[in-house]
Chains A and B, each alone.
Chain A
Amino acid sequence: MTGYDEMRGDGPVVRDLYAGVGAWLDAMPPALLSRRRAEAEFIFRRTGITFAVYEEGGDPDRLIPFDIIPRLIDAREWDFLHRGLAQRVRALNAFLADAYGSRDFLRAGRIPEHLVTRNPEFVPYMNGFAVPGGCYTHVAGIDVVRTARDEFHVLEDNCRVPSGVAYMLEDREVMMRLFPELFGAYRVRPVSHYPEELLRTLQSVAPRNCDGDPVVVLLSPGQFNSAYYEHSFLADEMGIELVEGADLLVRDGLVCMRTTRGLRRVDVVYRRIDDAYLDPLAFRPDSALGVPGLMAAYRAGNVTIANAPGAGIADDKAVYCHVPEMIRFFLGEEPTLQNVPTWQCSLEDERAYVLEHLADLVVKSVHGSGGYGMLVGPHATRAEREEFAARIRATPGRYIAQPTLALSTCPTFVGDTVVPRHVDLRPYVLCGRSSDPASIDVRMVAGGLTRVALPAGSLVVNSSQGGGTKDTWVVDGPAGEEG
């Protein structure tokens, strides 16, 4: 399947946007590109930017492959994306506030009630609680794919603990070190201020009773987590403490960290652990992990947890179908960014269609992530399709299906040649307290993380499935190009 070629557009010639990259590639012998790629890898390894795989046979020091050809987005395209992303994230937060509050959206029949009330990610502890600043998804990662010159679709919303932003930042660092001359050919919008923006966002949602500068910490599961590098990187860049559950405790209703100078109050917990491990007194009774009493301290208004517990009800793939309706309902606007058409296997006629067309569709598990538990129909064997059909019949509510999209491609250096490979884009959208209490403050740095499927023809970009990353450039080019 061939998708929209972001370098050449639909025609045989290179788009003006990519002219600089084209000229640069023409002037670069493959041997030199290879050498630069090796240098990039050396830098990544030396800095310790790894995505550890701790399962049996996994490599604790595995690198995510990095492609040295940048992916370009022009200002007009980015403005469009920015508008659509901000709109979508506002609607998702409004939906969450509603789902844990007055539930008007449910009562109006805009979403089947059980998708909220019986969602495994629904956290009853959040019911009737007004979160600080009205923010639930302080960091949202919205996965966007491009299918034509002016067609972008949202593939997935990540409202819990989206990761990967460290790669966005490190990819840019490495590119600026290796290819300063290419930056001379473009006006690339910066991304390096992301940690400051994140810190500002987190501080903005500090509890009302916080006195002085809010103390923010990053709560990590520890060094055996695959994203540990990112946790320590972000904590370092923000100048905040990187803590684990045992470093925190609740005393007199306040969350404190243990330091060499005694207990110190914590105002905002930027957590990179799942809900179930936050507090053994509020979640799994059998779990010894987490900070006992954290949720009670949260509800008492003494600490802010980001992202908010229970935000996961907004990002499963069955709820996804209803996001355009959220935009209309809560914002009174038409969605700027479209969803990918989605069939819900829980509905009888849609299920029948899916089972009939398995060979053309992508089937995903409603609560799955990371590219696990999914079937790419056109690439699957007959046996795999039959196995999936059986699973769908057994538990239809757990699956949705989408058409196999022709994801756009970007020039990618594979082996020793430059070839087109499918890409997606994960921009990181930050939500903080707004001076207008009825609203939230949405901000983002230009671009995001471009993920690229390295095997020829592959549409799976997830890093856990062998995907790589690219630096993403939002370019303020000469205006009026391409018309």
Chain B
Amino acid sequence: MLLSRTADNLFWMARYIERAESTARLLDVGRRMASVVTEPDAAASEWASTIDAAGCEATFASAHDIHTAGNVIDHLVRDVRNPSSIFASLAVVRQNARVVRTALSQDVWDAVNGMWIESQAWRDDDFTVAGLPRILDWVKERSQRFGGAVANTMLRSEAYWWVRLGTFLERAENSARIVDVKYHVLIPRPPGEAGPLDEYQWGAVLRAVSAYRAYHWVYRDRLDPVRVAELMILRPEMPRSLVSCIAQVTYYLERIASDGSHAPDGGASPVRADLAPERGEVSRRPLAISRAIEDGLRTATIERIYGEGLHEFLTRFIGTMNSIGHEIRREYLLGE
């Protein structure tokens, strides 16, 4: 048993640190894409699709007119008026961590607090195309350190499950977004028709999720757009694939929904039955959705997904992740 507010803080702390990392990875795709096109218009369009994929069209439009590299970097990295920017995310992470500090291990707190302190040290000339790789590497490295501290030092109790649930729910959504940035280049081509630029773009998607080498290990063949999509969506051995992420979401939702017999207090905290009307069926709603999605992905084929339309499939998937988040809030975080 956890206070709902504590669970909420842990969940969002984890989501936002994952969001910061995902935004960094999205920017990495955008950076690689923009660097190989020659016309300024094409570069702007690459940056624009990065903004779209991050779901920041509206906030960007209210802050900037044109999709220059500088504007996009500013908006996605440090503009605190954009709640999804890396720095805004880190502020939310620290704020949440501070409230639940006693539920965290010292190492997790140090990881969060250290990241926040270091974020204050970046200077204006770091927020440029040239400075960007260093910032992105820093974000990824710090986020990994957080994940490592969670995995290695946190007690396996409900607090841990909520952190993990936040991480994987956010990661599932963001992996879908990363594929969605380039859904239009991931269309089937007869062998031999793809140019070097196409291959470069497919490679950029893979590199963004640190899966360029993984592709070659799995397929032992040259890059093929449909296989890139398959790896990112359906391959369970790929840790950032949608199926892997949703399997983790299911796992932690199962832990949380378990009747407390796995709880650290051995379930010794009886909830007054008359105060918690009929939770059985209802409390497994987020879990039911997650299981259904996981089962669907495990039996799906990439051909069926292309049959629906890749973009349509990804949009639907992102929507479902939102409803899981919504159901989690309704079932657990309001505390009733």
Contact = CB atoms under 8 A, between A and B. Distances in A.
A23 B285 CA distance: 69
B235 to A, nearest CB: 33
A374 interface: no
B5 A262 contact: no
Most chain-B Cβ atoms within 10 A of its Cβ — which of A232, A241, A258, A265?
A258
Contact of A261 (B101, B269, B334): B269
Contacts of B7: 260
A264 interface: yes
Interface string B312-336: 0000000000000000000011111
A223 B102 CA distance: 12
A247 B333 CA distance: 11
A261 B158 CA distance: 11
B1 A263 contact: no
B134 interface: no
Nearest to B265: A239
A260 B5 contact: no
A300 to B, nearest CB: 16
Interface in A217-257: 223, 232, 235-236, 241-244, 246-247, 251-252, 254, 256-257
Most chain-B Cβ atoms within 10 A of its Cβ — which of A48, A242, A257, A259?
A259
B276 A262 contact: yes
Given A247-B335, A263-B272, A241 B3 contact: yes
Contact of A262 (B98, B101, B271): B271
B4 interface: yes
Contacts of A48: 101
A236 B332 CA distance: 23
A236 B102 CA distance: 7
Given A262-B276, A265-B272, A257 B98 contact: no
B256 interface: yes
Interface residues of B, number: 26
Interface residues of A, number: 25
A258 B275 contact: no
A256 B275 contact: yes
Contacts of B187: none
Interface string B1-30: 111110100000000000000000000000
Nearest to A239: B265
Contacts, number: 73
A223 B7 CA distance: 17
B206 to A, nearest CB: 38
Contacts of A243: 3, 5
A265 B5 CA distance: 16
B331 to A, nearest CB: 9
A254 B276 CA distance: 13
Given A251-B275, A265-B275, A260 B98 contact: no
Interface in B155-189: 158, 162
B138 to A, nearest CB: 24
Interface in B243-268: 256, 260
Nearest to B331: A260
A258 B158 contact: no
B292 interface: no
Contacts of B158: 260
Given A223-B98, A262-B276, A257 B3 contact: yes
A254 B271 CA distance: 13
A102 to B, nearest CB: 37
Interface of B: 1-5, 7, 98-99, 101-102, 158, 162, 256, 260, 269-272, 275-276, 279, 332-336
- The 9 A-B residue pairs with the shortest CB-CB distance, nearest first, are A258-B335, A262-B276, A258-B4, A263-B275, A260-B332, A262-B271, A261-B1, A259-B1, A260-B7
Given A212-B270, A260-B3, A260-B256, 6 more contacts: A223-B99, A258-B334, A259-B271, A260-B162, A261-B269, A265-B275
20 contacts: A232-B101, A235-B102, A241-B3, A251-B275, A252-B275, A254-B272, A254-B275, A256-B272, A258-B3, A258-B336, A259-B1, A259-B4, A259-B335, A260-B2, A260-B256, A260-B332, A260-B335, A263-B271, A264-B1, A264-B269
Interface of A: 48, 212, 223, 232, 235-236, 241-244, 246-247, 251-252, 254, 256-265
